């Protein structure tokens, strides 16, 4: 039986490709909006493009539901802005509270590099994150971002990359995963990660 993976539809992001990527990885992927729909999923993805503040405002009504999902032990994946909202706050939208699944904030890239970062950057894997099982160091992934997560505990960083500064390109703790890059846009490498995520959803 294919696991049912919900993609939180809060009016942000290219849901078309996230859904296509999860389907190619072997999941039944559906857009979800309500607490009931979210709770019924085997795993959950929070996508997102745009700015931290507006995204959190739209996610706020689902805060409790998503927090409960995170503590249920079922796999949860934040992508791009969906990663940033897992931190506590962001310099992009001061005063707005993130989910805080990871302690720390979100910073803007230094002015020495072109902003936004748009393109393929290399990943250096740290630790043994199951999302990156059987992937080799130095794989490229597709990024589109002006800000990056800076977790307090560097132990949660599961991949890092270099763009004017070494930054966390993925974080992980227990069942909560997040990638700054777009796995659904990262070719075979990204699909391999989504397959790993789908495997986790089967357990």
Partner 1 sequence: MLAKRIIPCLDVCDGRVVKGVNFVGLRDAGDPSELAARYNDEGADELVFLDITASVEGRKIFLNVLRRTAEQLFIPLSVGGGMKTIEDVREALANGADKVSLNTMIVKNPELLHDTSEEFGSQCIVASIDAKRVGESWRVFTYGGRTPTEIDAIKWAKRCESLGAGEILLTSMDADGTKRGFDLKLTRAVCDAVRIPVIASGGAGTKQDFADVFEKTGADAALAASVFHYDKTSVKKIKKFLKNRGVEVR
**Which residue number, 114 or 133, has a Cβ lying nearer to partner 1?**
114
Report the alpha-carbon distance of residue 6 to residue 162 in Å, rounded: 31
What DSSP string describes 128-155?
A: --GGGTTPPTT-EEEEEESEEEEES-GG
**Which residue number, 35 or 121, has a Cβ lying nearer to partner 1?**
121
Contact pattern from residue 119 through residue 158 relative to partner 1, giving x for each residue in contact according to CB under 8 A and a dash for the rest: xxxx-----------------x-x-xxx------------
Among 41, 92, 129, 184, the one annotated catalytic: 184
Task: For the CB of residue 21, give the shortest distance to partner 1 in the complex, in Å.
Answer: 6
Closest listed residue to residue 5, CA positions, set 47, 42, 40, 46: 42
Q: 31-63 burial by CB neighbour count: b if 16+ within 10 A, else e?
A: ebeeeeebeebbbbbbbbeebbebbbebbeebe
The residue range among 62-70, 98-106, 109-117, 171-179 that interacts with partner 1, by the rule CB under 8 A, is 109-117
184 carries an active-site annotation = yes
88 carries an active-site annotation = no
Select the residue interacting with partner 1 from 51, 176, 193, 198 (CB under 8 A): 51
Determine if 84 is a binding residue for partner 1 (CB under 8 A): no
Pairing type for strands 166-173 and 157-162 reads antiparallel
Asked whether 115 and 103 are in contact (CB, 8 A), the reply is no
Determine if 26 is a binding residue for partner 1 (CB under 8 A): no
Closest listed residue to residue 163, CA positions, set 90, 116, 108, 113: 113
Among 80, 92, 129, 139, the one annotated catalytic: 80
* Interface contacts to partner 1, rule CB under 8 A: 14, 16-17, 20-21, 24, 49-51, 114-122, 140, 142, 144-146, 162-163, 182, 184-188, 190-191
């Amino acid at each position: 039986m294919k696991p049912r993976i919900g993609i939180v539809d809060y009016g942000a992001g290219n849901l078309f490709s996230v859904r296509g990527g999860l389907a190619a990885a072997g999941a039944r992927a559906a857009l979800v909006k309500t607490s009931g729909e979210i709770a019924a999923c085997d795993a959950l993805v929070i996508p997102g493009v745009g700015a931290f503040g507006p995204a959190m405002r739209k996610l706020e009504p689902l805060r409790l539901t998503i927090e409960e999902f995170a503590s249920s032990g079922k796999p949860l994946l934040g992508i791009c802005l969906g990663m940033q909202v897992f931190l506590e706050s962001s310099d992009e939208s001061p005063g707005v509270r993130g989910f805080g699944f990871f302690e720390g904030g979100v910073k803007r890239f230094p002015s020495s590099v072109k902003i936004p970062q748009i393109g393929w950057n290399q990943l250096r894997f740290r630790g043994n994150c199951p999302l990156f099982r059987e992937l080799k160091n130095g794989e490229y992934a597709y990024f589109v971002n002006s800000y990056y997560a800076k977790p307090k505990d560097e132990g949660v960083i599961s991949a890092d990359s270099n763009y004017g500064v070494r930054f966390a390109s993925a974080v992980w703790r227990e069942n909560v995963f997040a990638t700054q890059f777009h796995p659904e846009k990262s070719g075979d490498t990204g699909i391999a990660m989504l397959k790993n995520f789908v495997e986790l959803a089967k357990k």
